[in-house]
Amino acid sequence: MGKKLVVVGGGAGGPSAAAKAKRVDPELEVIILEGGEHVSFSA
Amino acid sequence: MEISDGETLAFDYLVVATGATPRLPGVPGQDLEGIFCLRNVTDAIRIRKFIDEKRVKRAVVVGAGLISLEMCEAFRRLGLETTVVYRKDLPLRRLGEDFAEQILTELETNGVAFMGETSLEGFEPTDTGGIIVHSSGGTFETDLVLLGLGVVPQVSLASEAGLGIGSTGAISVNKFLQTNIPYIYAAGDCCECFHRISQRPVYAPLGDIANKQGRIAGANIGGQNLSFPGIVGSTCFKVFNLEVASTGLTAEEAREVGLKAEAVTIQGVSKAHSYPGSRELHIRLVADTENGRLLGAQAVGGDGVVSRINGLAVALTGGLSLDELAYLDLAYAPPFSGAWDPIHIAAQKLLK
């Protein structure tokens, strides 16, 4: 089983980190937490 | 970690990308309806909806940074009477009084009233849905207020988790974007970055930097070994028909970090003089007087500003000297520059 990444924040830096980590390691389980309504609006 | 519904999430790696929150003025009435900050898409939609539904005619912008000035243009385009309230005498004074005055002129030419050296004292609602603004420059009424006072890094979660906070107040990270806890990374507006010219950590909450930091943090979590080389401090924005950009340090900032700096300012043109649509372009170059190395550049003009500053950002990153800049092989054709580009002219003048 892959390792687990939790990302706090879905603005620009968070989704960039999540997407790249998943591309580099497809086995990784990735969860993004975002308090607002919109995700990745400036990424 | 625990999340809002009480559930507990386990992780092997964590990325803290909590961003930043708008700085508030701390005056009475700052939470009234019709007073907005602009931080995200939700804010933008709320502002636009308020303007349309309340048939807003007048707007007050508090602060004179990039967001404030961009919003002045947006409000004027919607036909709103727009007033800036700012505590200093000129917008973007960091760029120098001469450039700041050009920005002020551009605002006023486009119908923005600028109240400089004015401190905000508070807000009150009117019976008709308006807002009374109290300031050191007088009391007046408006329909909408935009607070553009900058941002502060959102570090409450990081602090609770015991992550190191740097001298700027943002999360401290190494070049791999790791915090003091190696499996916890940070990226974006909640964390610091390294300024390659001042050689110090700085707080530069900008979306492009956030993307780069995020991607590098993600690559490292995925098993690669990438490092973030840091920034040279490049920014740009447009206000009405004026382009403004800067990279590196101003002469004042260079001296503050102990460098011996000298600056020169030239007025050039964005395209060849003879070419239609050529506009004035003002560039200031800052160099180290001890070794002739470029330290920074600031520019304003009608056209071609950002391409010059981007070229100079590369020069800064590569550590070019004025000698190299003065005869640098920049692409030339009349629609884009004179045979001597403003960069050459400024570098040669500073060498004299």
Helices (H), B17-173: 41-53, 66-77, 97-109, 156-160
Q: How far is B75 from chain A (nearest CA, A)?
A: 22
Burial bucket for residue B26 (CB in 10 Å: 0-12, 13-18, 19+): exposed
Domain boundaries, chain B: 21-151, 155-221, 235-351
The first and second tokens of residue B218, run together, are: 């993600």
Is the model's pLDDT at A43 over the cut of 60? no
Q: What angle do CA B312, B316, B317 make, to 5 degrees?
A: 115
Residue B14: which of A8, A19, A41 has the nearest Cβ?
A8
Q: Judge whether B155-221 and B235-351 match in fold.
A: yes
A40 touches chain B (CB under 8 A): no
> What span, in angstroms and rounded, lies between the C-alpha atoms of B162 and B248?
32
What is the ipTM metric for this complex?
A: 0.95
* CB-CB neighbors (< 8 A) of B219 in chain A: 20-21, 24
B163 touches chain A (CB under 8 A): no
Q: How far is B2 from chain A (nearest CA, A)?
A: 11
* CB-CB neighbors (< 8 A) of A10 in chain B: 17
Domain B235-351 grouped into CATH 3.40.50.880: no
Domain boundaries, chain A: 1-43
Helices (H), chain B: 41-53, 66-77, 97-109, 156-160, 207-221, 251-256, 305-318, 322-326, 342-351
Query: What is the architecture, at CATH level 2, of domain B155-221?
Result: 3-Layer(bba) Sandwich (3.50)
**CB of B157 closer than 8 Å to CB of B149:** no
Half-sphere exposure at residue B139, Cβ-oriented, CA atoms within 13 angstroms: 9
What's the distance, Cα to Cα, between the start and end of chain B in Å? 61
Residue A13: which of B17, B222, B224 has the nearest Cβ?
B17
> What span, in angstroms and rounded, lies between the C-alpha atoms of B245 and B237?
6
- The kind and range of the H/E element at A15 are helix A13-24
* CB-CB neighbors (< 8 A) of A33 in chain B: 3
**CB of B60 closer than 8 Å to CB of B85:** yes
Q: What is the CA radius of gyration of chain A?
A: 10
A39 touches chain B (CB under 8 A): no
Task: Report the pLDDT value the prediction gives residue B37, as an integer from 0 to 100.
Answer: 98
> What span, in angstroms and rounded, lies between the C-alpha atoms of B279 and B268?
9
Half-sphere exposure at residue B271, Cβ-oriented, CA atoms within 13 angstroms: 12
Task: Report the pLDDT value the prediction gives residue B222, as an integer from 0 to 100.
Answer: 97
Query: What is the architecture, at CATH level 2, of domain B21-151?
Result: 3-Layer(bba) Sandwich (3.50)
Phi then psi for residue A25, to 5 deg, are -130, 90
**CB of B214 closer than 8 Å to CB of A17:** yes
Amino acid at B52: D
**CB of B145 closer than 8 Å to CB of B122:** no
pLDDT, tens digit only, all 352 positions of chain B: 777 777 889 999 999 999 999 999 999 999 999 999 999 999 999 999 999 999 999 999 999 999 999 999 999 999 999 999 999 999 999 999 999 999 999 999 999 999 999 999 999 999 999 999 999 999 999 999 999 999 999 999 999 999 999 999 999 999 999 999 999 999 999 999 999 999 999 999 999 999 999 999 999 999 999 999 999 999 999 999 999 999 999 999 999 999 999 999 999 999 999 999 999 999 999 999 999 999 999 999 999 999 999 999 999 999 999 999 999 999 999 999 999 999 999 999 999 8
Task: Report the pLDDT value the prediction gives residue A39, as an integer from 0 to 100.
Answer: 80
